[in-house]
Amino acid sequence: MLAQALPELEVRLSPDIGDPADVRFLAAWTLPAGLIETLPNLEVLFSIGAGVDQLDLGQIPANVTVVRLIEPNLAAAMAEYAAMTVLALHRDLYAYADQQRNELWQQLPQVPAAARRVGIAGLGQMGKAALAALAPFGFALSGWSRSPREVAGVTCFHGADGLRAFAAQTDILVSLLPLTPETRGFLGTDLFAQMPAGAAIVSAGRGLHLDAPALIAALDSGRLSRAILDVTPVEPLPAGDPLWRHPRVVITPHVAAATDSEGSGKAVIANLRRHLAGEPMIGIVERDRGY
């Protein structure tokens, strides 16, 4: 795909990269140990998956621009997953599944969508796509991010002080944050204690956002009613892990938004064209933020 779209560039596939001094652009998910030091003329490193937390940014020379993947199909898939899980929680689908296993016919109280407060943590491309997918149902939508954001029809919070206010008014929280040192363990005791009793969470960002023992304690105590996890601290989730069989945990195997090879290739090509034309690329990583 790259060779056809950009015939002026010679495309080489690792490990047959020829003279390392010829390499100006590199597209990769992870970097083999020592590779980056052998590329003296590298200009841009493209991550071909969502996020860049798999890369050690400290080992990448400061003169190399790191670009994360901004790909419409990823955002669309994540929006589907967010809508699916939020609606399932809102309409008590998992509670009814529990009742079915126990042969129990019992109607649960219905809450109007306008009275259900849904919050998205992370207001990047995927967070905004999730909010757009949820908006037609009439939920009371809010969002939280590290720095100020504005999204039409959404009550936005930011920073540490804003996080407390955001959590306190969120009945269903969907975490789509990037993974940084600040967001490790984000889904933990402090956050759960600030949420309304009986709230639910959907974790679809990064597994290391989750403090698993804290989640189990919050579910067992009734502080949280249910958790849907698409990502876990260790993947695959090991056999025998308490999360597998917890009655209030639903697990999907990191399938919320799978990277599409064709879409990823098109995104890299579009950014390469921008760079070669002297235009700013989309998705440039801010090193101090980690995303």
**Tokens 């056809």, residue located:** 4
Give the burial class of 106: count Cβ atoms within 10 A of its Cβ; 0-12 exposed, 13-18 middle, 19 or more buried.
exposed
Backbone angles phi, psi at 31, to 5 degrees: -115, 125
Residues designated catalytic: 206, 254
Is the sign of the CA dihedral 177, 129, 145, 199 positive or negative?
negative
**Tokens 């959907």, residue located:** 202
Backbone angles phi, psi at 117, to 5 degrees: -95, 110
Long-range contacts for 19-28 (Cβ within 8 Å, ≥24 apart)?
Answer: 25/272, 25/275, 27/2, 27/268
